[in-house]
A and B are shown apart, each in its own frame.
Chain A
Amino acid sequence: MYKTVSRLLRIRVPRVACNSLVRTAAVSQARCASTSEVDKPNFPGSKSKFVSQPFLLDPDDMEGIPVYRAMNRDGVFIDESQDPKFDDNTILKMYKDMTLLNTMDRVLYDSQRQGRISFYMTNYGEEGTHIGSAAALDPKDLVFGQYREVGVLMWRGFPLIQFIHQCYGNCKDLGKGRQMPVHYGAKDYHFVTISSSLATQMPQASGAAYAYKRKKNGLCVICYFGEGAASEGDAHAAFNFAAVLDCPVIFFCRNNGYAISTPTKEQYRGDGIAARAAGYGIPCIRVDGNDVFAVYNATKLARDLCTTQNRPVVIEAMTYRIGHHSTSDDSSAYRSVDEVNQHDRSDNPITRFRNYMNRRGVWDEEKEKQWKLDSRKMVMKAFAEAENEKKGNPESFFEDVYKEMPPHIAKQRDAMKQHVKQYKEHYPLEHFQPMS
């Protein structure tokens, strides 16, 4: 029995592709059962057979869910059929977005250290999960991020300077400076504003996917979350509802080894997040998150199933958070610098992709050197521009609490304006856009 289970798990991935066949098979099996002599359990809510010996189904006896990868560490396709055959321009865009993200992270991280912005979170080591998944989506698929998915927005063409406007919370920030840095949100790019409360985006993604199913718009929803967030009750609700309501949502877990300081071994006992999917009746795939092509192929497969069959899919992308959790964290307190360096050297998604590009002949040392200079220049230019922008009009602080401003809020606003006008010498109004 144990072996049967592990065999089932092992062939789980190919089954995703031919799911309609699986369903047909199940139906015909049920029909057979009703006419055959075999005594089968007839309890509501379960499908299996009787056995006459008791045994405990121990997950420790099962083989773990395999990790799908397309390229080895040297950037060589293991199976040529897994090459998505991108043209040179797409390859270059993927690489440039991954590395621009990296450069932006360095500049903004340092700027927080210099006290120029209040907070920052880097994406080091997870660039492959962002770009690989974003490239496989329709640009109109709705994204619910957790907070470390900046590459997805970058892939969609969100201007570099807008990221920095947001981190500065200046008057050009689409969020009107209302949130902490990295809480991006962009309606035009179908990216829902980041929520600080962990995992609230998960049931919301299921709900949005339900709305998309009703609209029959051919789109799906993707929900990013970490392996730590998966311990929240919201995650359970999101999985269960999406499965029961047949919602076209991709649950994309970035399993990066740490939830702030908590390592995975203290976060869960089972075989990662992918192993939970079967319990909810959700197809899943585990993928090497440091292999951009594998992430792309897996997301493409998931998206196809989502949009053609209105079913949720769990993707667990195995990766490693090379940076600290945020600027409020020093990870050397709970993991060694050697461990981090080892991951950075041996498993960096950017290095692997660059190896592939070098081999393909679209990239070389010279181009790398030039791009490093160019990309840094781009970031510094945007940075300087954003830093010089004024803060928003203080009045806007009272807007968007309700669709229409109620009188009591208008009263607060007017009182503030009156006060600031009267005592303007005490306020740094020169840094703000003028009030009306």
Chain B
Amino acid sequence: MATLCKTISSVTRSATKLNQFSRLLSTSQRCSVQMAVRDALNTAMDEEIERDEKVFILGEEVGQYNGAYKVTKGLWEKWGDKRVMDTPITEMGFAGIAVGAAMAGLRPVCEFMTFNFSMQAIDQVINSAAKTYYMSAGQVPVPIVFRGPNGAAAGVGAQHSQCFASWYSQCPGLIVASPYSSEDARGLLKAAIRNENPVVFLENELMYGTSFEVSDEALGKDFLIPFGKAKIERAGSHITLVAHSKSVGLCLEAANELVGQGVECEVINLRTLRPLDDQTIIESVMKTNHLVTVESGWHHCGIGAEVVALVMESPAFNYLDAPVLRVTGADVPMPYAKSLEDLALPQVKNVLTAVRKSLNIS
């Protein structure tokens, strides 16, 4: 097994090298720019505001205060009240305002200070934004982006630390995006703003300050990432790890650690949760014969559950050599205590345990 692993990994590595080489050939100059996720989101919005007169941002304190998490920093100074609009407090209110503005021809980007507060507005998101296009038989499109930090932050307790990925992913009519890196953030947010459908855009507060290398291409003003297309962050042949948002990072860390054991993980960053890229998952599982899903949300009816179900219903089922395992948040409201909070969320060691269990190695 170990020998086989090594052979496969060297093949994969040379394939990666080749890939990099070809990219060198296709672009005249390759500069490596580091960019934080926050700046990726910020530049994406800035460019889209510039590109299309109809685009505007609204939410609590998004203007002069630059947003609670500074994602809209500098945009109000640059574009003024007309394009970056502070609203009174009431998520239901400004979500409704955004829906109405979209119905009347604008393209609002509606910031929830965190998605935890979007619960107050969920009627507007589900019953109005998601369904009006269908209920009006295509007469009333609602192009709108609901964005903000989702999932657990740090030390903010049960009501501020929840992943809403599976809530929104259940509803037809919505597109749900969940970026991991700066490239994801830029490409998916620009695509969301240009999309004709309502998009729920789930950011992660803990990732805002994280910097990633960003390619020339991703810095382009028309850099768009298609919805429903996952990214293979790391190719591997022994096991498939499927994750979204911050959990992709956990998978990559675990994958790096497992290399020492001769295990090559294939890490799939879902990027979009609705539509889900079933093809990439199915192909990967048919190659690796093992699957672990990782998410920070709860397991019950979670994204992992959906991934497992789609594999069961696909030809990949017959390729599985072990039961699929899910690594998820603990099934409790988030504790406030730091020590318990850490334990309630998936950690690299949980991913490692799941992978070893699946591969039956120690």
Contacts and interface: CB of A to CB of B under 8 A. Distances in A.
Interface residues of A, number: 49
Nearest to B279: A407
Interface stretch (A32-40, A116-124, A270-278, A395-403): A395-403
B260 interface: no
Contact of B96 (A183, A206, A221): A206
B196 interface: yes
B100 A399 contact: no
B74 interface: no
Residue of B88, B103, B195 most packed against chain A (CB within 10 A): B103
Contacts of A205: 100
Contact of A193 (B82, B95, B100, B136): B136
Interface stretch (B124-132, B248-256, B324-332, B337-345): B124-132
B135 A208 contact: no
Contacts of B8: none
A238 interface: yes
A17 to B, nearest CB: 28
B90 interface: yes
A58 to B, nearest CB: 28
Residue of B90, B96, B278 most packed against chain A (CB within 10 A): B96
B100 A185 contact: no
Contacts of B99: 200, 203-204, 207
Interface stretch (A103-111, A209-217, A370-378): A209-217
A83 B87 CA distance: 41
Contacts of B97: 203-204, 206-207, 210, 241, 245
A204 B141 contact: no
Given A205-B100, A402-B197, A211 B105 contact: yes
Given A211-B104, A211-B106, A406-B228, A204 B96 contact: yes
A142 interface: yes
Contacts of B94: 203, 237, 241
B106 A214 contact: yes
Given A193-B139, A208-B103, A211-B106, A244 B132 contact: no
A175 B88 CA distance: 35
A200 B128 contact: yes
B167 interface: no
Residue of B100, B141, B173, B197 most packed against chain A (CB within 10 A): B100
Contacts of B105: 211, 215
Given A200-B128, A208-B104, A192 B140 contact: yes
A236 B88 CA distance: 11
Nearest to B227: A406
B5 interface: no
A240 B195 CA distance: 30
Contacts of B104: 142, 207-209, 211-212, 221
Residue of B139, B172, B196, B278 most packed against chain A (CB within 10 A): B139
B57 interface: no
B212 interface: no
Interface size range on B against A: 35 or more
A433 B258 CA distance: 59
B140 A185 contact: yes
Nearest to A207: B100
B134 interface: yes
B133 A204 contact: no
A142 B98 CA distance: 16
Interface in B259-315: 275, 278
Interface in B43-102: 82, 85, 87-88, 90, 92-102
B100 A236 contact: no
A427 B149 CA distance: 48
A144 B81 CA distance: 26
Contacts of A240: 88, 90, 93
A161 interface: no
Interface of B: 82, 85, 87-88, 90, 92-106, 108, 123-124, 127-128, 132-141, 172-173, 175, 195-197, 228, 275, 278
Given A203-B100, A241-B97, A244-B87, 19 more contacts: A142-B104, A178-B137, A187-B140, A193-B135, A200-B99, A202-B96, A207-B100, A207-B108, A208-B103, A209-B100, A212-B104, A214-B82, A214-B106, A215-B105, A233-B92, A234-B96, A237-B90, A238-B96, A399-B138
